[in-house]
Amino acid sequence: MSAPQSGPLSGSSPSATPDPLRDPWIAPMRRALGEAARATGTGDVPVGAVVLSADGTVLGTGHNEREATGDPTAHAEVLALRAAARATGEWRLTGATLVVTLEPCTMCAGAIVLSRVDRVVYGARDAKAGAVGSLWDVVRDRRLNHRPEVITGVLENECAERLTAFFRDR
Of the residues 65, 77, 158, 161, only one is catalytic, namely: 77
Q: Which CATH architecture has domain 23-169?
A: 3-Layer(aba) Sandwich (3.40)
108 is in an annotated binding site: yes
75 is in an annotated binding site: yes
Q: Residue 77 catalytic?
A: yes
Domain boundaries, the chain: 23-169
pLDDT tens for each residue of the chain, 170 residues long: 444 433 333 344 445 688 888 999 999 999 999 999 999 999 999 999 999 999 999 999 999 999 999 999 999 999 999 999 999 999 999 999 999 999 999 999 999 999 999 999 999 999 999 999 999 999 999 999 999 999 999 999 999 999 999 999 98
Number of helices (H), then strands (E), in the chain: 5, 5
Comparing CA positions, the residue from 119, 122, 149 lying closest to residue 54 is: 119
